[in-house]
Structures are given as structure tokens and as C-alpha cells.
Structure 1
Amino acid sequence: MTVCPVDCIYEGDTQVFINPDECIDCGLCEPECPVNAIFVDTDVPPNWKSFIELNLVEGKRLAGG
């Protein structure tokens, strides 16, 4: 996703991940997500909460951390 000013979005095998350590919470990626799957962590819908930990782990791993 080229809209990210700090390039903290990484492509995995089946989805993209945001490295929370690099993200500056600007929100530019939210309206650009083709599947509307990006939320501020406090606004994640209950049925998507299981993805929070997956994003944390995979976002850091794909970033090399």
C-alpha cells in the first residue's frame, strides 16, 4: 500500500500486515484498504479481534524484527 508515509505495511502470503512499532497512526491506510480491514486498535469490531495478535506477530516478523 503506497499511501503509507512510513512504509510499515508488509505483504504476507494471504494478507498484508502493519508493523505497530513503525506505524504512526496517521490513518491514511484505512480508506485505501480494499477489504475495509484496517481499524484503530480501539475500534476493531468484535469478530475481527482475533486478528490483532496475528497482525502484531506477523507485522514485526515481516519487517525483520
Structure 2
Amino acid sequence: MTVCPVDCIYEAEDQVFINPDECIDCGLCEPECPVNAIFVDTDVPENWKSFIELNAVEGRRLGGG
């Protein structure tokens, strides 16, 4: 996603992951997500909260961290 000013969004086979250690919480990616799957961590819908840790683990792995 080219909108990220710190380039912390990494593509996997069928989805993207955000490295939370690199993210500056600017929010620019949120409206650009084509499937409306990016949320500020305090606004994640209850049924999606289980994905928070998966995103963090995969984002760090793909980002080399």
C-alpha cells in the first residue's frame, strides 16, 4: 500500500500485514484499505479482535523484525 509513509505494510499471499513496531499510527491506510479491514487498535470490531496478534506476528516476520 503506497500510502504508508513508513512502508510498514507487507504483502503476503492473500492479504497484507502491518508491522506494529514500525507503524506510526498516522491512519492514512485505514480509508485506503479495499476491504475495510484496517482499524485503529481501539476500534477493532469484537469479532475481528483475534486477528490483532496474528497481524502483529506476521507483520513483524514479513518486516524482518
Question: Residues 1-40 of structure 1 correspond to what in structure 2 (within 5 A)?
Answer: 1-40=1-40
User: What are the ranges of 5 or more consecutive residues in structure 2 without an aligned counterpart?
Assistant: none
Distance 1:36 1:11 in 2: 16
> What number of residue pairs does the alignment pair up?
65
Deviating 4+ runs (over 6 angstroms): none
Aligned to 1:51: 51
User: What are the ranges of 5 or more consecutive residues in structure 1 without an aligned counterpart?
Assistant: none
Q: Does 1:62 align with 2:62?
A: yes
Q: TM-score, normalised by structure 2?
A: 0.97
- CA shift for structure 1 position 36: 0.3
The Cα RMSD (Å) is: 0.5
- CA shift for structure 1 position 44: 0.2
Q: TM-score, normalised by structure 1?
A: 0.97
Task: Please state whether the residue corresponding to 1:10 is helix, strand or coil.
Answer: strand
